[in-house]
Amino acid sequence: MNILPEEYSKPVTLNHFLGKVCTVLVDKLASFQDKMTPEVATQTFTGVVNNIDDRGVCITDLTTKTKNFFFIGHIVGLREEKILDPSDPRDQQEIALLQEAMKEKTEEKPTPATVPTKVQQMEATGKESAFVNIADLQRLAKESKNNLN
C-alpha cells in the first residue's frame, strides 16, 4: 500500500532542476556562509540552475545576473526553492511570516562583548602597563639619535 501521491513516487533526475531556482548546498570546506551576510549568501548559493554535469552545477543569481559554479566534489545537495509572488494573497501571508521570522532572528543575535585589552585592564586597576608604549619608545629613540649627533 503506497500512501504517497503518484507524483511523489516518480523518479527525479538531475535535469528536473534545470531552469529552476535552487540553493546549492556545499560542504563546510567550500562554505563561507557563516562569514557572509544573508544577502551575499543568497547571491552566492541561490539562483537559476543553468547547467548540471559530472563536473558541477552552474547557477545564475536572480538579482545580479552573475554566474556561480560549484564543483561536484563540494556539493552535498541541491534544494529547489519555492517562488513567492508578492501580488498573490496566499503568498503575501507567507512572505509576511517569513519577514517576521527574519526580523526576530536578527533581533535575537547577541551583540559581541568587547573584551578589554591587557593595557586597559592594567590602567583600570591603576597598575603600570607591562607593555612598552610605542610612542614613548619612538620619542626616546629620536632623543638618543639627536644626542649622538
- pLDDT for 46 equals 93
- Over residues 60-73, the mean pLDDT reads 93
Q: Is the pLDDT of residue 129 over 80?
A: no
Least confident among 18-27, 115-124, 133-142: 115-124
Cα of first residue to Cα of last residue in the chain, in angstroms, is: 100
User: Cα angle vertex 28, ends 25, 32, to 5°?
Assistant: 85
Mean pLDDT of the chain: 82
- pLDDT for 106 equals 65
**Residue 29 pLDDT level (bands cut at 50, 70, 90):** low
CATH architecture for the domain at 6-85? Roll (2.30)
- Over residues 32-42, the mean pLDDT reads 75
- pLDDT for 22 equals 95
